[in-house]
């Protein structure tokens, strides 16, 4: 992922709005897309009263155990042994819950790299989907021109934390009754192959493919529309701070903040604001509301050797789980039951 110009070499430009072109190719039945450009911060005084939903008391510990296992595989970008081990690990744990896991594997013809997205559906009463997603790859820290950019990188927070949290949340989500169908998605190829972001030209491979395949399926009438995306990325740092990510859909940001307030976790949320290009960008580009829960701004361990389990905490994973579980019913109400 990438932050705005405040993070120096990771500066990004605003995302161009391509809604009109996309609408002509299959999204014509949806309202005009919201422009995926950096927006103003929300009014944090205007919270929606939400009933808090607490994750099971041991969920943070369970997620932390997943982080430990995943980082034990070492680097996990395409072609590494850890990449294959992690895919098997995710699939094994989801199948153990009785979920059908779909692997979408393809080779990028330009990069000559193979990527794999994993997904599993938790059916609701209605076919309309809310996607709960993360990326499973770690940034490749080898082969860069600058020797300082080449080191052993296990991505405890940037990669493993969100994967671990989705795995721990899966059985909890299965037990809850809801109208909307949930889809858990683990994207590959989020990280830029170049050290610098370069406007994401060599990044976001998995989310771009997922959105394109969804667009094609809609045209053919093969699947229900995705109504909203909740993206998790870097959610387990001990000193947790989920920034207000300013490309994200404003209404969804308001729901995240209201959920944090409802759970009493507001000191860990939205104390800083900054736009960050991430796997929600391809969704925003085609008008799908999306929000990114990310701890990037001010994170001293991002893309360093220090992104290890020693700087993680089960309590942070527990806090994020509470907020996700509390916001989901409101996301369903706003985007599935009441429409956009």
- Cβ(174)–Cβ(132) below 8 Å: no
pLDDT value, residue 37: 75
**Contact (CB, 8 A) for 189 and 205:** yes
**Rounded distance, CA 232 to CA 134, Å?**
5
Encode 254-282: b = buried (16+ Cβ within 10 Å), e = exposed: bbbbbbbbbbebbebbbeebbbbbbbbbb
Which pLDDT score, from 0 to 100, does residue 168 have? 98
Q: What is the pLDDT of residues 125-172, one digit of tens each?
A: 999 999 999 999 999 999 999 999 999 999 999 999 999 999 999 999
CATH fold of 2-337: Aminopeptidase (3.40.630)
Helical (H) or strand (E) element with 178: none
Positions of the chain with pLDDT under 50: 5-35
Q: What are the structural domain ranges in the chain? A: 2-337
Torsion angles phi and psi, residue 250, rounded to 5:
-55, -45
Confidence at residue 2, expressed as pLDDT on a 0 to 100 scale: 73
**50-72 confidence digits (pLDDT tens):** 999 999 999 999 999 999 999 99
Residue 117 Cα distances to 59, 189, 209, 230, 334, angstroms = 25, 9, 9, 16, 28
pLDDT at residue 36, as a whole number: 61
Contacts of 8 (CB under 8 A, 6+ apart): none
């Amino acid at each position: 992922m990438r932050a705005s110009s405040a993070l120096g070499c990771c500066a990004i430009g605003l995302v161009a709005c391509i809604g009109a072109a996309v609408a002509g190719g299959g999204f014509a039945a949806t309202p005009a897309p919201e422009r995926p450009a950096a927006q103003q911060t929300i009014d944090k005084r205007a919270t929606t009263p939400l009933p808090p939903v607490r994750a099971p008391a041991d969920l943070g510990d369970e997620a932390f155990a997943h982080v430990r296992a995943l980082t034990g595989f070492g680097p996990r970008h395409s072609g590494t042994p850890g990449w294959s081990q992690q895919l098997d690990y995710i699939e094994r744990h989801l199948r153990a819950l009785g979920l059908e896991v779909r692997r979408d594997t393809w080779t990028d013809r330009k990069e000559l790299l193979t990527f794999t997205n994993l997904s599993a559906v938790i059916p609701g009463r209605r076919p309309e989907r809310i996607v709960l997603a993360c990326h499973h790859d770690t940034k490749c820290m080898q082969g860069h021109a600058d020797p300082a950019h080449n080191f052993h990188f296990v991505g405890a927070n940037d990669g493993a934390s969100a994967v671990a949290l989705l795995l721990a949340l899966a059985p909890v989500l299965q037990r809850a009754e809801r109208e909307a169908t949930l889809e858990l998605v683990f994207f590959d190829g989020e990280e830029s192959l170049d050290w610098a972001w370069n406007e994401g030209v060599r990044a976001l491979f998995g989310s771009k493919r997922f959105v394109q395949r969804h667009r094609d399926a809609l045209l053919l009438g093969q699947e229900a529309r995705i109504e909203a995306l909740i993206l998790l990325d870097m959610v387990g740092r001990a000193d947790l701070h989920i920034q207000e990510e300013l490309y994200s859909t404003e209404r969804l940001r308001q729901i995240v903040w209201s959920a944090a307030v409802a759970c009493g976790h507001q000191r860990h949320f939205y104390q800083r604001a900054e736009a960050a290009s991430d796997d929600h960008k391809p969704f925003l580009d085609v008008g799908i509301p999306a929000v990114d829960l990310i701890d990037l701004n001010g994170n001293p361990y991002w893309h360093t050797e220090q992104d290890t389990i020693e700087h993680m905490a089960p309590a942070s994973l527990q806090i994020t789980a509470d907020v996700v579980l509390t916001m989901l019913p409101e996301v369903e109400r706003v985007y599935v039951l009441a429409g956009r």
